[in-house]
Amino acid sequence: MKIMYLYMFPLWGNGSGAWLRQLASHLVERGHDVAIVAPEKRKLHGVKHYRVRPPQMGVFVGNPELKDIKKYEDMNGVELGNIYTEYVNTTLAAVREFQPEILHVFHTAFLPPVARIAKVLYGIKFIITTHGSDLHYLSRDRRLIGLINDANKVARFITANSTFTRKWYLDMFGHDLSYKTRTIPGGVNLGDFSRVSSYEIEKLNRKYQLNNDRVVLFTGRLTVHKGVEYLIKAAKDIKGTVLILGDGPERPFLEKLINDYKLKNVRLLRYMKPDEELDFHAFYKRADVYVAPSVWKEPLGLVILESMAAACPVIATKTGGIGSIIKDGVNGFLVRPRDSKAIAEKVNMLLADEELRKKMAKKAQESVKDKFTWDKITTRFENMYKKFRYTTREYLREVKGIQKKLSMYK
């Protein structure tokens, strides 16, 4: 099959980008032709890239590769219109050259209307996937809702990354779309973590002077939504070293917070670049506990799945779609948002009880194997593409066949 993805951010620096990279790469491995239309100059092996060059970049929430970039909700109509026009022009040219059998749109804002135009002009069916951050943006800026409503009606299928996100989507756009809306979560590659060697762990220990420390880890964008301040506030009571790995607009505030609390057991590291991904996986393997202290309605939490895949027990807030991953007390612990005391208590419980930590880590890894491997996720999307694909060539063949049969009766 020939599948084309439409995406509006760099392919690195956020969960949906990681999702798209993995899905595209797995489909290529299975023999499919894949193209991506995105504002990205870096390329994936075996994938055809069409680079969008918008007059300015924007973000829904934040992206460590897009520092000091204006949010879409803060842009005026001319700015949004110019960005939209660039995506239309680039996408239509890419469709004409690549001739995909199906379009798959990542995120709800901007791109479903672009796919709608491609459907009108080329007759290609399209699928929409919502990741949740797009809905957060649209709940604050409704200027594109009319265009998206029209695209939703025409889209062949809509997927959401969690049951929570699916409900959010239907609440926003109408439950009459429920018949063609399904939940398909993101995934992880278990092999990425099994390949981390003891040498890599030792190298990480030396580089960051961890020695035999108990390590509590956070990875992700440093935005107010991620609630990292509550992990820092918990750190004064945590009996281990807290590593915060990432970047974003909250970084200056978090640095000040660490200084104000005079914390010696908190290390605020940096965002890991794409060529450092092995180091990135090693952090998960080295950690004793992972903490996801989100304060917003987290759509899914790909970093949580990555931690579980690395057999690292997780403490996360009970919000959004996290409940579809973590079963409290079984494969992780859930705490209330903004509850630093509860975070510290659960962290120390796991750090002090090796048997509990290993038992929970095993259950976490089993959960990933059962539901969240990229092999299984790719198969679900692959089956969907096969069901809904469409090509003008096939349509014309069908029409010619009908015409031929009709001519027999003349």
Enclosing domain of residue 131: 2-187+373-401
Q: What tens digit of pLDDT does each residue of 314-327 get?
A: 999 998 888 888 99
Together in a domain, 83 and 20: yes
Tell how strand 47-51 and strand 33-38 pair up.
Answer: parallel
Residue 111, pLDDT score: 95
Together in a domain, 360 and 380: no
Q: What is the mean pLDDT of residues 70-74?
A: 94
List of E strands, 184-226:
215-219
Q: What tens digit of pLDDT does each residue of 271-310 get?
A: 776 666 667 789 999 999 999 999 988 877 888 999 999 9
CA dihedral 225, 296, 303, 17 (to 10 degrees): -70
The answer to whether the Cα torsion of 261, 264, 267, 268 is positive or negative is positive
Task: Round the average pLDDT of the chain to a whole number and report it.
Answer: 91
**406 lies in a domain?**
no
Instruction: Kindly report which listed range (25-34, 122-131, 395-404) carries the lowest average pLDDT score.
Output: 395-404
Helix (H, G, I), strand (E, B) or coil at 43: coil
Q: In Å, how far from its chain's centre is CA 29?
A: 21
State the burial class of residue 305 (Cβ atoms within 10 Å of its Cβ: 0-12, 13-18, 19+). buried
Together in a domain, 366 and 377: no
Together in a domain, 82 and 161: yes
Q: What is the domain count for the chain?
A: 2
Together in a domain, 292 and 302: yes
Is the pLDDT confidence value at 397 over 80?
Answer: no
**79 lies in a domain?**
yes
Q: Rounded to an integer, what distance in angstroms lies between the CA atom of residue 189 and that of residue 191? A: 5
Together in a domain, 165 and 77: yes
Together in a domain, 33 and 67: yes
Q: What is the mean pLDDT of residues 187-215?
A: 89
Q: Which CATH number is 274's domain given?
A: 3.40.50.2000
Is the pLDDT confidence value at 40 over 80?
Answer: yes
Together in a domain, 8 and 91: yes
Together in a domain, 207 and 324: yes
Residue 300, pLDDT score: 76
Is the pLDDT confidence value at 403 over 70?
Answer: no
86 pLDDT band, cuts 50/70/90, is very high
105 and 126 in contact (C-beta within 8 Å)? Answer: yes
Together in a domain, 170 and 252: no
Is the pLDDT confidence value at 117 over 70?
Answer: yes
**301 lies in a domain?**
yes
400 pLDDT band, cuts 50/70/90, is low
**410 lies in a domain?**
no
Residue 399, pLDDT score: 45
395 pLDDT band, cuts 50/70/90, is very low
Together in a domain, 43 and 63: yes
Is the pLDDT confidence value at 398 over 70?
Answer: no
**224 lies in a domain?**
yes
Q: What is the mean pLDDT of residues 167-189?
A: 94
**407 lies in a domain?**
no
The DSSP line for 260-297 is: HTT-SSEEE--PPPGGGHHHHHHHHHH-SEEEE---S-
**409 lies in a domain?**
no
Residue 393, pLDDT score: 52
Is the pLDDT confidence value at 142 over 60?
Answer: yes
Together in a domain, 62 and 117: yes
Which DSSP symbol is given to 309? Answer: H
**243 lies in a domain?**
yes
Provide, rounded to the nearest whole percent, the portion of the chain with pLDDT above 90: 73
